Chains A and B, each alone.
Chain A
Amino acid sequence: MHFDPTLFAQQLINGLSLGGIYALIALGYTMVYGIIELINFAHGDVYTLGTFFSLAILTLLGVTGVVTGPMLIVVVAVTILGAMILCGLTGVIIERLAYRRLRNAPKLAPLITAIGMSFILENLMLYWKGPSPIPFPAVIPNPEFTLGAVTIQAKQVMVILLAIVLMVVLQAFVYNTKLGKAMRATAQDKDAAQLMGININTTIALTFLIGSALAGAAGFVSGVYYGSTWFFNGFGAGLKAFTAAVLGGIGNLAGAMLGGFLIGLIEAMTTQFIGDQWSNVVVFSVLVIVLIFRPSGLLGEALPNKV
């Protein structure tokens, strides 16, 4: 097949949009792992819960289609904030109920608990909205921009921008605020941090709050982007996002975003140049190869004082 630069650029956009959603989910995975070294398998389902909460809020607001004018800003702000708050609270509750007691248990116990939480959330959503994919209102107008022969939809721009903006905000929060400092201290050494007067429980709860809130934002965005959701969405997306976090270097915020975008791109390009059915194979092959040469991921560094 001859190489078509326009098509390549179009697939770049597709890949980056898909990657943006992975990146938003991966940020939550990586934050939680960075602090308590727990792979929170329930995170993908919190993301799905984000689309469900968004849908519920939109239904309450009476939104069924595209909103225009100043109301658009209100609707989007209310929905996204609402989903973020509800998901954040869900994350905090999960941490309090399921993980806190197991914080000093062998690593396997919280891991299995996380898988259990994932099942619980999936089945709660199955019970709530039923097992079929549910249509999601378009909400934002979706004009198309053309750059040469390449078409970019407004919602694709939204996904990509939101992923970058939230990553930058999060980075600033973690590195420039007192709470962020507390999070980093907790990540380095829980006992020492506690001796320095940091409330470990609050800090870890805060991490779950922020990570899950990001999943809520991702939930809204993916609902708008795909126009549908279903209870099992989090399984596939969560797995890819987790892979993104590992690929970028788990525990590293910029790495999570890089990993997310990379996986989105690999999927799109595999579909274009090899075949859709091979996209998972290629994604995970790349992961294996990267981990052989850089076991801590692309941007991951061997952190001091871990374990």
Chain B
Amino acid sequence: MRLSVPQAILAVALAASLSACTSSSSSSSSAASSGPSGGTIKIGVDLPVSGADASIGMPTQNGAVLAVEEANRNGFAGGKFKLDTSLLDDAVQGKHDPAAGAQNVKTFISDSAVLAMVGPFNSNVAKSEIPLTNDAGLAQISPSNTNDGLTIGDDAKKLRTAHPDVNTYFRVCTRDAKQGAALAQVAADRLKLKKVFVIDDNETYGKGLADVFDTSFRQLGGTVLGHEHITANQVDFKALLTKIKAQGPDAVFFGGNTSTGGGLIRRQMADVGLGKTPFLGGDGISDDEFEKQAGDSANGSYMTVASPDATKLPSAKAFVDAYKARFKTDVGPYSANAYTAAKIEIAAFEKAIADAGGKMPTRGDVLKYIAATKEYDSPIGKVGFDANGDTTSPVLSLLNVQGGKKVVIDVIQLKS
């Protein structure tokens, strides 16, 4: 077959566009320390670092990278092993994607140097990953997943299909049942709201958070005027917001991410005359992208971050300074969490190496030490895991957008 020039151009461009759809991968190798004898141990990092999610994913990834670089500098495992990261992106066409996350985990599993992983960022991605890490016995610590079903109840059991009695999934942030309940408490007690309309994005994280808020707010005596679910890629919310406005809400609650509609909903609230009505959400709308997309309307929004605000913690000062020096930007809401997750894994590596007599440890050894983490001193406080893999010290930061910028107005310590 003869290809004409335009057809050839088209074929090349098409191939390029298809390859652009697959997640890009890169591996950062920190400055080569002169040939450690034991080999290389890697931490697999799976986060969304392109697209709308990049504004929150990239600073998170940086946190994990920083932990690895510091460990190498400080003579990881007595200098016998070199520590490295394998950085993969689970965003496809600009949005976190469960299938891409699963593919990335398969890549980690097939790389025998990867002994533990940090990630994923999004709860629906975690759902597709946990069965794989459970099967392979690869420990993973998420800096930011908050969905309850990942660790609690029948939902969590269903994810551990290969080895129901083994848990490979841990997280250093606060889960939704606590986040949603705390948000309901903030709405009822602190903001004195009576009638709230609830919207969610119908994703694992968003719907989970919205459901908990819905139930808790009613229990506290508040009225939920209605609970609606939006659809993927929706851009027009005017009809929905007109309907909401007619019911005269004190506030609108959104369970979801900025990338799944949070920013646009807030912007369009002004169009229908709800610009002065407070907008509440969870950590999904705590990224900088939210103010960019919502514009001037962002003011008067409240959101939580499922971890303490690192910039406000004395224990995180060293980390925040080191991060700024290394990446020339401010820390993101989950940078300290990812840093802590990587540090916990590095500590487990060292113990497992000592156990193995200085040889390369197995994933099983590493998992054992990660699961046993108790009272680990980290920038975000003393961290440990319970039997489900949840943090034993849940903390939330409450943020408010004022003058186009997010301000931390409270840090809430919750019961574990």
Q: Does B93 contact A (CB under 8 A)?
A: yes
Are the CB atoms of B231 and A276 closer together than 8 Å?
yes
User: Which residues of A have CB within 8 Å of B52?
Assistant: 131-133, 230
Q: Does A141 contact B (CB under 8 A)?
A: no
Contact of A96 among B6, B199, B202, B231 (CB under 8 A): B6
Scan A44-70; emit 1 where CB is below 8 A from any B CB, else 0: 000000000000000000000000000
Are the CB atoms of A153 and B16 closer together than 8 Å?
no
Are the CB atoms of A101 and B4 closer together than 8 Å?
yes
Scan A115-126; emit 1 where CB is below 8 A from any B CB, else 0: 010011011001
Contact of B246 among A4, A17, A236 (CB under 8 A): A4
Q: Does B229 contact A (CB under 8 A)?
A: yes
The complex places the Cα of A98 from the Cα of B5 at a distance, in Å, of 11
Contact of B239 among A227, A237, A271 (CB under 8 A): A271
Q: Does A188 contact B (CB under 8 A)?
A: no
Scan A172-193; emit 1 where CB is below 8 A from any B CB, else 0: 0000000000000000000000
Q: Does B292 contact A (CB under 8 A)?
A: yes
Are the CB atoms of A271 and B54 closer together than 8 Å?
no
Are the CB atoms of A236 and B229 closer together than 8 Å?
no
Q: Does B365 contact A (CB under 8 A)?
A: no
Are the CB atoms of A226 and B6 closer together than 8 Å?
no
Whose C-beta in chain B lies nearest to the C-beta of A271?
A: B239
Whose C-beta in chain A lies nearest to the C-beta of B246?
A: A7
Q: How large is the interface on A (under 10, 10 to 19, 20 to 34, 35 or more residues)?
A: 35 or more
Whose C-beta in chain B lies nearest to the C-beta of A281?
A: B231
Interface residues of B in 262-313 (CB under 8 A from A): 263-264, 267-268, 271, 273, 289, 292-293, 295
Q: How large is the interface on B (under 10, 10 to 19, 20 to 34, 35 or more residues)?
A: 35 or more
Are the CB atoms of B263 and A133 closer together than 8 Å?
yes
Shortest beta-carbon distance from A9 to chain B in Å: 10
Interface residues of A in 276-293 (CB under 8 A from B): 276-277, 279-280
Are the CB atoms of A116 and B6 closer together than 8 Å?
no
Are the CB atoms of A232 and B233 closer together than 8 Å?
yes
User: Which residues of B have CB within 8 Å of A268?
Assistant: 238-239
User: Which residues of B have CB within 8 Å of A120?
Assistant: 10, 13-14, 17
Knowing A14-B242, A132-B52, the reply to whether A277 touches B268 (Cβ < 8 A) is no
The complex places the Cα of A276 from the Cα of B229 at a distance, in Å, of 6
Q: Is the interface of A mostly helix, strand, loop or mixed?
A: helix
Are the CB atoms of B51 and A14 closer together than 8 Å?
no
Scan A222-245; emit 1 where CB is below 8 A from any B CB, else 0: 000011101111011100000000
Are the CB atoms of A276 and B246 closer together than 8 Å?
no
User: Which residues of B have CB within 8 Å of A119?
Assistant: 14, 17-18, 21
Whose C-beta in chain A lies nearest to the C-beta of B5?
A: A97
The complex places the Cα of A71 from the Cα of B237 at a distance, in Å, of 31
Contact of B271 among A7, A153, A233 (CB under 8 A): A153
List chain B positions with a Cβ less than 8 A from chain A: 4, 6-7, 9-10, 13-14, 16-18, 20-21, 50-52, 54-55, 91, 93-95, 199, 202, 228-231, 233-240, 242-243, 246, 259, 263-264, 267-268, 271, 273, 289, 292-293, 295
New contact pairs (6) apart from A11-B239, A226-B267, CB-CB < 8 Å: A14-B238, A97-B10, A131-B91, A131-B93, A132-B292, A272-B239
List chain A positions with a Cβ less than 8 A from chain B: 4, 7, 10-11, 14-15, 17-18, 96-98, 101, 113, 116, 119-120, 122-123, 126, 131-133, 135, 151, 153, 226-228, 230-233, 235-237, 267-269, 271-272, 275-277, 279-280
30 CB < 8 A contacts A-B: A7-B242, A7-B246, A11-B243, A17-B238, A96-B6, A97-B6, A116-B17, A119-B17, A119-B21, A120-B13, A120-B14, A122-B93, A123-B17, A123-B21, A132-B292, A151-B273, A226-B264, A227-B295, A228-B264, A237-B235, A267-B239, A268-B239, A271-B228, A271-B239, A271-B243, A275-B228, A276-B229, A276-B240, A277-B231, A280-B231
